[in-house]
Amino acid sequence: MKTNIIVFGQLTDIIGNDKLVVNNAGDTNSLLEELKKGYPALEDSKFILAVDKKLVTENTLLNTNSTIALMPPFSGG
Amino acid sequence: METKSGQTTGMKGRKPKNVFVQGAVAASFIADSIQKHSSKTDIGGHSIFLGQVRADVINGKEVASIEYTAYEEMALEKMHTIREDIFSKYDLICMHVYHSLGKVAAGEISLFVFTSSAHRKAAIDACEETVERIKAELPVWGKEIFVDETYQWKESK
């Protein structure tokens, strides 16, 4: 299973792109583990996750169509 | 009721509206927006907040512009929720919100919030609460671009 991820703000500097695809992530915890392995700088970054535009704070199951957003603290206005 | 300018009245069942504009919000656009309310004679007070890009000096480098990006779909859904909440809390006649995307130079306007009510208090309080919620809840990010073209990501205060 492939999971599509969109990346915002300063996290785009860490990832080097504004989107990426992660394989075989069944839930958000394993996705985060996988991401931090690939991008160790994420470990020291403040960010939250949205699954299909909803903020998630607890481990959340992903399905094939889920879109995950990695979002650093907002700074609009 | 909707008009071409994307106005909203206090009626139920509103659809998410686009609040994003490319680049700065022009003073003439704000003036037109005010002018359009002259036909709404039940309004007795307007409250307007304008967010302007500051030329902060950080470590000796001056901010020339802020480049805004957003998770637009999520931001519009969130803005819709904020709008619904504000309309149910305050006795408003209408509300308009415009937020910039892309580059906005120092001195230009990047956020325009405009609330109107029969009596001033509702418009003033609703405007303030809407601005605070936009800052806290909308997935929007500002990149401060310095005069020398280096940048840093903005941190909200």
> Is pLDDT of A52 > 70?
yes
Judged by average pLDDT, the poorest of B6-20, B94-108, B136-150 is B6-20
The residue segments making up the domain with residue B75 are 20-153
Question: Which residues 6+ apart lie within 8 Å of B61 measured at CB?
Answer: B146, B147, B148, B150
Q: How far apart are CA A21 and CA B71, in angstroms?
A: 18
Query: Which pLDDT band holds residue B156 (cuts at 50, 70, 90)?
Result: confident
CB atoms within 10 A of CB B95: 24
Q: What is the pLDDT of residues B129-145, one digit of tens each?
A: 999 999 999 999 999 99
What's the total number of domains in chain B? 1
Does a structural domain hold residue B4? no
B51 Cβ under 8 Å from any chain A Cβ: yes
Q: Please tell me the predicted confidence (pLDDT) of residue B11.
A: 45
pLDDT band at B14 (very low <50, low <70, confident <90, very high): low
Task: Please state the domain extents for chain A.
Answer: 2-71
Q: Which of B132, B16, B31 is nearest to B74 (CA)?
A: B16
pLDDT interval class at A49 (50, 70, 90): very high
Show residues of chain B in contact with A47, CB under 8 Å: none
From the list B74, B77, B141, the residue facing A76 with the nearest CB is: B141
Query: Looking at residues B39-58, what average pLDDT do you find?
Result: 97
- Work out how many CB contacts closer than 8 A connect A with B: 65
What residues of B are in contact with residue A8 (Cβ under 8 Å)? Answer: 69, 71, 139, 141
Residue B12 lies in a domain: no
A48: buried, middle or exposed (CB in 10 Å: 19+, 13-18, 0-12)?
middle
Distance in angstroms (rounded) separating the CA atoms of residues B125 and B127: 5
pLDDT band at A1 (very low <50, low <70, confident <90, very high): confident
Contacts of B109 in chain A (CB under 8 A): none
Asked if A74 and B138 come within 8 Å (Cβ–Cβ), the reply is yes
Q: What is the mean pLDDT of residues A60-64?
A: 90
Read off the amino acid at residue B57: V
Domain for residue B144, yes or no? Answer: yes
Kindly tell me if the per-residue pLDDT of B9 is higher than 50: no
Do residues B110 and B118 lie in contact, with contact meaning Cβ atoms separated by under 8 Å? Answer: no
B73-76 contacts, C-beta under 8 A, 24 or more apart: B73/A53, B74/A50, B74/A53, B74/A69, B74/B139, B75/B19, B75/B20, B75/B138, B75/B139, B75/B140, B76/B16, B76/B17, B76/B18, B76/B19, B76/B20
Strand ranges for B5-139 from DSSP E: 20-22, 45-52, 57-58, 61-70, 92-105, 109-117
Q: Provide the ipTM.
A: 0.94
Nearest CA in chain B to A6: B71
DSSP state of A37: H
Residue percentage of chain B with pLDDT more than 90: 87
Homologous superfamily assigned to A2-71: Beta-grasp domain (3.10.20.30)
A76/B131 touch (CB, cutoff 8 Å), yes or no: no
Q: Which residue has the tokens 């039940």?
A: B42
Burial grade of B5 (CB within 10 A; 0-12, 13-18, 19 or more): exposed
What's the whole-number average pLDDT of chain B? 92
Residues 124-153 of chain B whose Cβ lies under 8 A from any Cβ of chain A:
131, 134-143, 153
CATH number at residue B89: 3.90.1170.40
Interatomic CA distance for residues B136 and B146, integer angstroms: 25
Residue B1 pLDDT exceeds 50: no
Task: Quickly state the pLDDT bin for B13 (edges 50, 70, 90).
Answer: low
pLDDT band at B99 (very low <50, low <70, confident <90, very high): very high
Out of A65-69, B8-12, B79-83, B104-108, pick the least confident: B8-12
Contacts of B137 in chain A (CB under 8 A): 74
What pLDDT is recorded for position B58? 93
